Amino acid sequence: MANMASVFRDGSVDADGFCIRYQEAGEGPPLVHLHGAGGLRLTSAHDLLSCAFRVIAFEMPGFGAVENQKTQTAQDLATTMAAAAEALGLSGFNLMGTSFGGTVASWMAVQRRDLVAALVLDAPSTIRPEGGEPISGSPEEIARRLYAHPERVPPAPAIEPALAERRLAIAQRLRGPGRDTMLEEGLSGLAMPALVLFGTRDGVIPPAMGRHYLELIPDAHLVFVYDAGHALMVERPEAFTEVVTDFLERSDAFIISRTKTVIYP
Amino acid sequence: MKVSYFETGRYQAPADMPAIWPMPAAAYDSGEGVRVFRGMIERIALAEKLGFDWVSLSEHHYSPRILTPSPMVAAAYVAARVHTIKIALLGPIVSHSNPVRIAEELAMLDTIAAGRLVVGLLRGTPNETLTYDLNPQESRERTDEGMELILKAWTEPRPFGWQGRHFRYRTVSVWPRPLQQPHPPTFALGTSREAGEFAARTRIGLGVSYGPFEVMEKVTGYYRDQCARHGWEPAPDQIIFRANIILTETDAQAQRAMEVYPTRAPFSLAEGVASALLTLDARNIAGEARSASINRALPINFFGSPDTVVDQVRRCREVIGAGVIDLGFNTPGTTDPVALLDALDLFGRTVLPRIRDI
C-alpha cells in the first residue's frame, strides 16, 4: 500500500436493462465491490484498498434512487452485476461482496468462474442460521447490531426512511434461503481462492457461519477480525484492508508471514 | 462450597536473601529448588486425600515467592503424579504470552489430566509487565484479545486467521483439542469492569481475589448484572474467591499472627519503578478507578479458629456469592514446608467437612 489513496469519482454503466451507478478510484488490479443491504456507502477501507487496487464499488439496481421490481432473485442480480462488470471491460477481476452483497458475489463467482479471479466475502449473508433476522429498527438498534462499539463510529449520513426501507425490502426479497442447496453446490465447485471474513462480534450473521464456507469452497480461508461487528469495513478498516490486500496479492501464500521482527540490525 | 488449595512451591528463603524483585538469580539454591518440587507432590497428595476439590497453580516470575513461572509445566507434573483432584491454572498470564500457545498447552494438559483441568485467564500483576517487556498501558487490551482468541482456538473446528489489534495469525488450528468440550471450565480472573464484562459476554466464570468481602461483592455483583444483560445466570461454582488464610487452634493465636503479619510485600520493586508503574498501570474495581497494588502485602481474608473460619466462609458465600474458595495457607513465623502440611491437615480435619454444604 505504497500509493496514496485516490479520490473516488462517480460513473454509470448500462447493463442488462439497468443504468448502474458506481464509484471508482485507484490503479492496479481491478477489485469489484458489491455492497450490503444498506446500499453503497464508501468507507475508509475503500480509500485504503484504492492504494493497491482499482476499486469499482457498484450500486446494485434497486438500492439507489430508482426502484427495481424486475430482478427476482439473487442469481438474477448476480447476472446483472456480471454484465455491468463486463460492460466496463473487466475480466479476471477480484470480487468482494459485503453481507447481502456477499450472497450476490457468491452467485456471480458460481455463475461466472471465467470472470472472477478471487473472491472475498465480507460478513456474507450467503449462509445464515435458521431464524436469522435482517437488521431493522431504530438507528440506535441498527448500530448496536452493526458495530461492536457503536460509540466509536462516526454517525452515518442521514438517509430518507423510505429509501432505507426500500433497500431492506429488496434485500429481503432477493436474499434467498439461509441454506441454498443449489448455491452451496455451486460453491463446492469453485476453483478460485476465496477469503471469508467475520467480525468476532457480528450481531447480524453469527461468525460461526464462517466454518461452513471452509467445508464448501475447496480453496477457502477464514479470518476473524477481532472486536468488530457486522460492518467490518467501517469498524476496523486498517485490519480489514491489510488482510484483504495481502490475500489478493499473494493468494494462498498470504498465510506466510512477512512481518519483520528485527529490532536492531 | 468447593475448596481449592493454592500451591505456590514453598521455597525456604534464607533470612539474608534480599527483599527485592526481581530476585537476583545468584541467590537461588538449586537443592532447595529440587525440594520445592518434591514437596509439591507431597502437599497436593495430602490435599487430595483430605478432600480438597482443586489444587491451583499460577504464573509468576523472577522470585522465590511462587516457583512456577510456567504453571503448564507444573500442572503436567502434578497431573502425572496425583490422580483425582482437579488442577486449576489460575492462571497463565495472557497479556505477555502467545495466546495460541496457551490454548495448545491447556488443551494438552486437559488431555493429560483426563479432563481434570480448570482454567483461569489472567492479566498479571504490575511487576509482571517487566518480565517480558510488556508495555503496562497495553496489558488490559492484550488480555481481553488474548482471552477471546484462546476461546476461539479451542472451539473453531477448522483453521482460521485472526486479525486482531495486538495479535495476528493467518492460520490457527489447535491440536490436541481439550478433552472437556467445548472447553475446560474457564474463568476470567480479575476485579475490573473489563474482566467482568468479558466473562459475562463469553459465558465463562469470574475469579476475584484478596479484597475485603464488601469490595469483592461489588465486583461479583457487577458480573452478575452483566450476565443478566446477556441473558444468563452464573452458577455458584462459576465464582472463585482466592484469599489467604491463617487457621489456628484458637482465635487468640490467629490474632497474634495477624499482629505481626507484614504490610509490605516480601519482595519489592525499587521505588522509582513502583511509582512509575502506578501511573502507567490503570486498574479498576467494577469500573471504579483504584491504584494498582504494588509492594503491598496481600491481605489475610480468613483467620482464626476453625469455628471462626467456618463463619467467615459462610459470610464469603453470602456476600460475594463465591462457590469456590482458593486458599493460600500462611504459617506465621515459619516457611518450613512441614508447617504447611500441618496447616492443610488442620483445615482438612476441622473446617472442610463443615463448609461442604455452605
- Amino acid A265: pLDDT: 93
Percentage of chain A modeled with pLDDT above 70: 98
Residue A139: all three cell numbers together: 438507528
Q: What is the CATH number of the domain that holds B268?
A: 3.20.20.30
pLDDT in tens, B319-356: 999 999 999 999 988 888 999 999 999 999 999 999 99
Whether residue A3 lies inside any domain: the answer is no
- Amino acid A1: pLDDT: 43
- Based on the structure, what is the number of domains in chain A? 1
Mean pLDDT of chain B: 96
Interface probe with B: pick from A217, A221, A224, A256, most Cβ of B within 10 Å = A224
Whether residue A206 lies inside any domain: the answer is yes
DSSP string, B69-111: S-HHHHHHHHHHH--SSEEEEEEEESTTS-HHHHHHHHHHHHH
Whether residue A158 lies inside any domain: the answer is yes
pLDDT of B208 above 90: yes
Whether residue A195 lies inside any domain: the answer is yes
- Amino acid A5: pLDDT: 64
pLDDT of A10 above 80: yes
- Amino acid B332: pLDDT: 87
- Amino acid A2: pLDDT: 46
pLDDT in tens, A152-196: 998 877 889 899 999 999 999 999 999 999 999 999 999 999 999
Contacts 24+ apart (CB under 8 A), B211-217: B211/B285, B211/B299, B212/B299, B212/B301, B213/B301, B213/B315, B213/B316, B213/B319, B213/B320, B214/B319, B215/B191, B215/B285, B216/B191, B216/B241, B216/B319, B216/B320, B216/B322, B217/B319, B217/B320, B217/B321
Kindly list the strands in the beta sheet with A54-58, ordered across the sheet, starting from the edge strand earlier in the chain. A9-15, A18-25, A54-58, A30-34, A93-98, A116-122, A194-199, A220-225, B160-163, B168-172
Let me know: does B337 contact B12? Beta carbons within 8 Å.
yes
Percentage of chain B modeled with pLDDT above 90: 94
Q: Which amino acid is at B155?
A: T
pLDDT of A41 above 70: yes
Contact A200 B158 (CB under 8 A): no
Let me know: does B224 contact B321? Beta carbons within 8 Å.
yes
Q: Which domain holds residue B342?
A: 2-355
pLDDT of A23 above 80: yes
Q: Which domain holds residue A143?
A: 9-254
Between residues 120 and 159 of chain B, which touch chain A (CB distance below 8 Å)?
145, 148-149, 152, 156-159
Let me know: does B135 contact B129? Beta carbons within 8 Å.
yes
Q: What is the CATH number of the domain that holds A62?
A: 3.40.50.1820
- Amino acid B328: pLDDT: 97
Q: For B173-249, list the strands marked E by DSSP.
A: 186-189, 205-209, 239-247
Whether residue A1 lies inside any domain: the answer is no
Whether residue A261 lies inside any domain: the answer is no
- Amino acid A142: pLDDT: 87
Contact B162 A210 (CB under 8 A): no
Give CA–CA dist B336/B234, Å, rounded. 39
- Based on the structure, what is the number of domains in chain B? 1
Report if pTM > 0.90.
yes
From B145, B148, B163, residue closest to A223, measured CB to CB: B163
B318 and A CB contact within 8 Å: no
Instruction: List the single residue in A with minimal CA-CA distance to B173.
Output: A222
Instruction: List the single residue in B with minimal CA-CA distance to A237.
Output: B163
Whether residue A162 lies inside any domain: the answer is yes
Whether residue A209 lies inside any domain: the answer is yes
